[in-house]
Amino acid sequence: MSIKDIAPPDLQGRTVIVTGGGQGIGEAYSHAFAEAGCKVVVADINGDNASKVAREIAGNTDQAIGIETDISDEAETQEMASAALAAFGRIDVLINNAALYTTVTRAIFDELPLDEWRRVMDVNVTGTFLCARAVLPAMRKQNWGRIVNVSSSTVAMGRPAFLHYVTSKAAVVGMTRSMAREIGVDGITVNCIMPGLTETGIDASGVDEDTRDLIVRMQAIPRREVPQDLVGTLLYLASEASGFVTGQTIAVDGGTIHL
């Protein structure tokens, strides 16, 4: 699939911030938006990875910047927005993708350290909120913006030893609906995608081969999900085409049956 063939044309020249863009699914999103003709701000707590992805995208051009950002730190999210404005003059789209996922400690909930619970909430919930808040002034000024939050289809399933993560991703669904109600009047939409279990080549602790096969059997499209499967929905939600769609959560998981 060529991104150029499926990308809505109005994405050309838009400025897109991808949090967690230095690795995994966010790295694929960063490349996809670049191929769609956008200016890309790759923000990640791992600054080296953010810079590496930005360099790969931009080459000798000014199409992308990488910025080290801890999304759970309010000042750093504001610096991220300032850097985007300094480089490109606008912020059109925020892909609120960064989260603690592959690195979370898994434990049955009565044994889960409270610090670990708080760390996951701080990044996955508060960080998502802070990034949206940081880009809001620029989007309001333009009277146009697209915020896409990232939940997970595990919310519809539940998953043992993962209560902190699943709870955080359920919060993102409610956050999406409420945020959308507050800023629709400003020409800004807020939507959410729910990826299924997605292969990125990065080891996700606690997901063994049997679990991966089981999930494929629960899907209407019976093959393992890859980051490219998410891109089309994301490009649509970032574009003019989705202008009257807001507060929605779309499962992009091959039609997984949730009993």
Instruction: Tell me if 151 sits within 8 A of 230, measured CB to CB.
Output: no
From 115, 211, 126, select the one nearest 168 (Cα to Cα). Answer: 126
Q: Which stretch binds ligand NAD (CB under 6 A): 3-11, 81-89, 174-182, 192-200?
A: 192-200
The least distance separating ligand NAD from the CB of residue 100, rounded to whole angstroms, comes to 5
Using CB under 6 A, which residues numbered 206 to 225 contact ligand NAD? none
Is 165 labeled as catalytic in the residue annotation?
yes
Using DSSP, state whether 65 is helix, strand or coil. Answer: strand
DSSP string, 109-178: GGGS-HHHHHHHIIIIIIIHHHHHHHHHHHHHHHT-EEEEEE--THHHH--TT-HHHHHHHHHHHHHHHH
Instruction: Tell me if 33 sits within 8 A of 94, measured CB to CB.
Output: no
Using CB under 6 A, which of 14, 18, 24, 254 touches ligand NAD? 24
CB closer to ligand NAD, 19 vs 239: 19
Cα distance between residue 102 and residue 120, in whole Å: 11
Using CB under 6 A, which residues numbered 64 to 83 contact ligand NAD? 69-72
> Counting contacts by CB under 6 A, is residue 229 touching ligand NAD?
no
Instruction: Extract the tokens encoding 155.
Output: 């919310």
Using CB under 6 A, which of 142, 167, 200, 248 touches ligand NAD? 200
From 189, 237, 227, 188, select the one nearest 8 (Cα to Cα). Answer: 237
Q: Positive or negative, the Cα torsion across 91, 94, 99, 102? A: negative
Using CB under 6 A, which of 11, 17, 18, 25 touches ligand NAD? 25
> Counting contacts by CB under 6 A, is residue 100 touching ligand NAD?
yes
Using CB under 6 A, which of 47, 52, 90, 102 touches ligand NAD? 102
Using CB under 6 A, which residues numbered 143 to 182 contact ligand NAD? 150, 152
> Counting contacts by CB under 6 A, is residue 249 touching ligand NAD?
no
Using CB under 6 A, which residues numbered 113 to 142 contact ligand NAD? 123, 127
Task: By CB under 6 A, name the binding residues for ligand NAD.
Answer: 19-20, 22-26, 44-46, 49, 69-72, 97-102, 123, 127, 150, 152, 195, 197-198, 200, 202
Residues acting as catalytic residues: 165
